[in-house]
Structure 1
C-alpha cells in the first residue's frame, strides 16, 4: 500500500464522496451531536445524583409522607407525596441501573 499523494482520479472520487456526505443532513446532525451524547444532561447535578444516600433520603421522605397522608388525609401532604414519589422512583431506578451495568 502506498502512502504518497492520491492520483487525480482517486482525488476526484474522494472529492465526490465528501461532497455527497456534506449534503446528507442527517449524517451531519449525528456527527455534530456525537460528542455531546456522553455528557450528562443535568450538568453539575448529574455528578452527585443519584447516589445511594440521596435515594435513601428520598425513600425515607416518601414513606413518611405516605404514612402521614394515610393518617391525616391532608391534601397538602398527599400532594407533597405525589411530587416526591416520582423523583424517588426515578432515582432508585437510576441507581439500580448503575449498579447492574457491566
Structure 2
C-alpha cells in the first residue's frame, strides 16, 4: 500500500464517522460558536508600546547597554505591527 492512501475499509469507516459528525447538531452549534473575532489593537496598547519603545531607544542611545538595545529590538517590531493594524482599522471604511 502506498503511503498516504487509505484502504477501502478505512475509507468506509472514515465516511461513516464523517456522516455521524455531520448529524451531530450540538457539535455543529459548538463549532460555530467557537469562532472568535480577530483581536483588534486598542489605542492605549499602541500608545503604551510606543512609549516603551521610545524609552528603550533613548536609554539605549544614552547608555549603549546591550540589554537595553536588545529589549528595544524585541519591542519595536511589535509596536510597528500594532500601530500599523490600528491605522488600518481607523482607515477602513
Q: Give TM-score scaled by structure 2 length.
A: 0.60
Matched, 1:92 2:83: yes
Higher relative contact order (CA 8 A, sep 6+): 2
Partner deviation per Cα, 1:29-74 (whole Å, 9 max, x = no partner): xxxxxx9x9842xxxxx1xx41000000000000000000000000
Indicate the SS of the match to 1:59.
helix
Structure 2 Cα separation of the partners of residues 51 and 38 of structure 1: 17
The residue aligned with 2:3 is: none
RMSD: 1.9
Residue number among 56, 60, 67 corresponding to 1:76 in the alignment: 67
Indicate the SS of the match to 1:50.
coil
Q: 4+ runs of 1 displaced by more than 2 Å?
A: 37-40
Which structure 2 segments of 5+ residues have no match?
Answer: 1-31
